[in-house]
């Protein structure tokens, strides 16, 4: 028996079936899609931050977040890094370049509504320079009159340091020597104000363990404020309704997600759980270049990837061993075959081209000379070498680089080394206290003057974690900073680089590029040499 179906009924059935199929096959909304609708940017942050106190932190994971929470007298243009007005709406500079007078905004306030005053900056700088705080960032203020002496305890009266409160809206800063890069540098964390009226509520402002940076406690003055901190899950900041420039901030918030496992971070990006990653696994760079170039960002980065030698622990108390290992790293092969993101081999510490500076000193690749130096030190073909451990913070890229160098040293020098990875906070603590033999390090430094890179290895620098000290190097740095003769400055910096390269307390590997993945729906982003996220000007589509 044949049943005839009217045409209109057949069309109706097809339409219903199509709707049912579409409903059944519809994809669930991703985290990125929901967050985009809510105006929240999801960002991979690499590691769980150790703290959010801008005066004591030293790492990039911490900097990424504090840069959204705080603002100094100046801020850096997101593209050019030139100094722009921040809390200071304007400034005057004396003819000799030694006195800066900053005029603060009337509408600059803390997130609790209290005005940000010149006295807040004065008290913040006094805290940073207090030896009891133990901040590794204190030496960044040493160009101010009396700052170094106060930090080292030879000057006890802070009123003799070159900061002066003229009135609530006017701050004077007096320098020991002209520093044309000062205004740009002031956009960095060392120059941020901190809310002393809040810090004092939670204990001694100079002792560790003060809880002022916890959610519900923290008060800040930047474009965002801390909303939530779920340890090892995420930190979320939200738009600051009291920020003086709040009308220009388009995002409702940023969620920073700590993910030290780079393959897992990349998988989260593919699954629609992140707008931006901190890094790209080395094995995935070529894949994205080929299949999704619009999501891959690679750009120059003002920094150097290197290894610290602990010069106070055998066998690295012998300069011949340090030089041998530095000569036995094939940097060209490493960047061409391992890192794969356009990094530049580093044969000395300071990146080339900053202010026209190009170092003459170079660490050459020379396996024969490396073997000769090892034999001279008493370790022919690596025999008799005590156990060596190379420490790095947990990340896939650091592991791959360390393994490549490990294999080269084994093959060319006969040296066996053990690799040890540690999570970020433990690694930082061990490096800062010099509990290591060799450890991975990276320095991202404002690219305003080559002297700022070389300053890192002066004896009293908080970032010199090698135990190495050299009186001539320290003297030359002081002379560089006091000189107004550019030729003289360049000559002295060349000599500093020669000393550093001869004594080799560090092993430069390459100059960074920054590589990360970003959803094309992120708009208004600018890449810059410091990889400072311009979240205050970003929006999502």
| Predicted pLDDT at 302 | 95
What's the predicted TM-score (pTM) here? 0.89
| Predicted pLDDT at 173 | 98
| Percent of the chain as helix, strand, coil, to the nearest 5 | 40, 20, 40
Q: Which residues pair with 115 in a beta bridge?
A: 109
Measured CA to CA, the distance from residue 32 to residue 168 in angstroms comes to 44
| Predicted pLDDT at 5 | 38
Kindly state the percentage of the chain with pLDDT values over 70. 95
Residue 14 pLDDT class (50, 70, 90 cuts): very low
What is the average pLDDT across 244-271? 97
Residue 97 pLDDT class (50, 70, 90 cuts): very high
Go through the domains of the chain in sequence order and give each one's CATH number. Answer: 60-249+518-540 (3.90.76.10), 300-515 (3.10.105.10)
- Beginning with the edge strand found earlier in the chain, give each strand of the sheet holding 170-174 in spatial order: 88-93, 99-104, 170-174, 163-167
Measured CA to CA, the distance from residue 506 to residue 133 in angstroms comes to 27
User: Counting Cβ atoms within 10 Å, is residue 451 exposed (0-12), middle (13-18) or buried (19+)?
Assistant: buried
Q: For 378-398, what is each residue's pLDDT tens digit?
A: 999 999 999 999 999 999 999
Q: For 163-203, what is each residue's pLDDT tens digit?
A: 999 999 999 999 999 999 999 999 999 999 999 999 999 99
| Predicted pLDDT at 7 | 40
Q: Which residue intervals of 366-485 are DSSP H helices?
A: 367-376, 396-413, 424-432, 451-454, 471-482
Q: For 462-482, what is each residue's pLDDT tens digit?
A: 999 999 999 999 999 999 999
Contacts of 15 (CB under 8 A, 6+ apart): none
Confidence check: pLDDT of 11 > 50: no
Measured CA to CA, the distance from residue 42 to residue 236 in angstroms comes to 9
User: Counting Cβ atoms within 10 Å, is residue 160 exposed (0-12), middle (13-18) or buried (19+)?
Assistant: exposed
Range scoring the smallest mean pLDDT among 17-21, 48-52, 325-329, 330-334: 17-21
Distances (CA, A) of 499 to 327, 362, 502: 16, 11, 5
Kindly state the percentage of the chain with pLDDT values over 90. 92
Evaluate the omega torsion of the peptide bond into residue 500 and state whether it is cis, within 30 degrees of 0.
no
Three-state secondary structure call for residue 310: coil
The vertex-222 CA angle with 218 and 223, nearest 5°, equals 115
Whether the CB-CB separation of 256 and 45 falls below 8 Å is answered with yes
| Predicted pLDDT at 355 | 85
Measured CA to CA, the distance from residue 343 to residue 508 in angstroms comes to 12
What is the average pLDDT across 491-519? 97
What is the average pLDDT across 310-335? 98
Residue 23 pLDDT class (50, 70, 90 cuts): very low
Whether the CB-CB separation of 298 and 510 falls below 8 Å is answered with no
Please provide the average confidence, as pLDDT, over all residues in the chain.
93
Residue 166 in tokens? 């003229």
Q: For 104-144, what is each residue's pLDDT tens digit?
A: 999 999 999 999 999 999 999 999 999 999 999 999 999 99
| Predicted pLDDT at 208 | 84
| Predicted pLDDT at 52 | 97
User: Counting Cβ atoms within 10 Å, is residue 129 exposed (0-12), middle (13-18) or buried (19+)?
Assistant: buried
- 356: phi then psi, degrees, rounded to nearest 5: 80, 5
| Predicted pLDDT at 209 | 84
Q: For 201-248, what is each residue's pLDDT tens digit?
A: 999 999 988 999 999 999 999 999 999 999 999 999 999 999 999 999
Whether the CB-CB separation of 194 and 127 falls below 8 Å is answered with yes
Distances (CA, A) of 535 to 43, 144, 237, 484: 11, 31, 11, 37
Would you say the C-alpha torsion 532, 349, 286, 397 has a positive or negative sign?
A: negative
Measured CA to CA, the distance from residue 183 to residue 161 in angstroms comes to 19
- 96: phi then psi, degrees, rounded to nearest 5: -85, 0
What is the average pLDDT across 77-97? 96
């Amino acid at each position: 028996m044949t049943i005839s179906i009217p045409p209109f009924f057949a069309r109706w059935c097809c339409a219903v079936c199509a709707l049912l199929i579409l409903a059944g096959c519809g994809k669930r909304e991703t985290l990125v899609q929901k967050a985009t609708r809510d105006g929240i940017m999801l960002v991979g942050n690499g590691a769980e931050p150790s703290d959010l106190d801008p005066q004591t932190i030293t790492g990039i994971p911490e900097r990424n977040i504090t840069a959204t929470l705080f603002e100094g007298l100046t801020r850096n243009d997101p593209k050019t890094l030139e100094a722009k007005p921040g809390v200071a709406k304007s400034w005057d500079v004396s003819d000799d370049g030694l006195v800066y007078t900053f005029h603060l905004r009337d509408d600059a306030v803390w997130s609790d509504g209290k005005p940000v005053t010149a006295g807040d900056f004065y008290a913040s700088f006094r805290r940073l320079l207090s030896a009891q705080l133990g901040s590794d960032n204190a030496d960044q203020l040493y160009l101010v009159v009396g700052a170094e002496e106060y930090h080292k305890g030879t000057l006890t009266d802070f009123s003799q340091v070159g900061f002066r409160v003229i009135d609530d809206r006017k701050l004077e800063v007096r320098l020991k020597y002209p520093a044309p890069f000062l205004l740009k540098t002031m956009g960095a964390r060392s120059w941020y104000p901190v809310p002393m009226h809040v810090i004092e509520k939670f204990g001694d402002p100079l002792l560790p363990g003060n809880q002022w940076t916890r959610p519900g406690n923290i008060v800040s003055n930047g474009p965002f404020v801390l909303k939530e901190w779920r340890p090892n899950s995420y930190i979320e900041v939200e738009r600051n309704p009291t920020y003086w420039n709040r009308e220009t901030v388009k995002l409702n918030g940023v969620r920073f997600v700590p993910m030290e496992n780079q393959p897992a971070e990349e998988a989260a990006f593919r699954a629609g759980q992140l707008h931006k990653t901190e890094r790209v696994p080395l094995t995935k760079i070529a894949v994205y270049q080929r299949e999704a170039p619009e999501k891959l960002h690679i750009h120059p980065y003002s920094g150097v990837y290197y290894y610290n030698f602990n010069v106070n622990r055998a066998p690295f108390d012998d300069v011949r061993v340090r030089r041998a290992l530095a000569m036995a790293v094939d940097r060209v092969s490493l960047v061409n075959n391992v890192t794969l993101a356009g990094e530049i081999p580093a044969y000395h510490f300071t990146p080339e081209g900053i202010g026209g500076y190009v170092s003459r000193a170079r660490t050459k690749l020379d396996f024969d000379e490396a073997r000769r130096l090892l034999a001279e030190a008493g370790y022919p073909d690596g025999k008799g070498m005590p156990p060596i451990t190379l420490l790095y913070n947990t990340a896939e890229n650091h592991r791959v680089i360390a393994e490549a160098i490990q294999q080269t040293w084994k093959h060319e020098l006969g040296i066996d080394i053990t690799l040890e990875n540690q999570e970020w906070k433990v690694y930082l603590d061990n490096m800062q206290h010099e509990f290591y033999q060799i450890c991975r390090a990276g320095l991202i430094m404002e690219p305003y003057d080559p002297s700022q890179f070389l300053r890192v290895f002066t004896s009293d620098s908080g970032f010199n974690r090698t135990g190495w000290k050299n009186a001539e190097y320290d003297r030359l740095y002081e002379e560089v900073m006091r000189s107004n003769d550019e030729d003289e400055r360049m000559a002295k910096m060349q000599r500093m680089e020669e000393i550093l390269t001869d004594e080799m307390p560090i092993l430069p590997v390459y100059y960074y590029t920054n590589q990360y993945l970003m959803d094309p729906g992120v708009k208004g982003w600018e890449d810059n040499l410091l990889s400072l996220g311009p979240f205050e000007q970003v929006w999502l589509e």
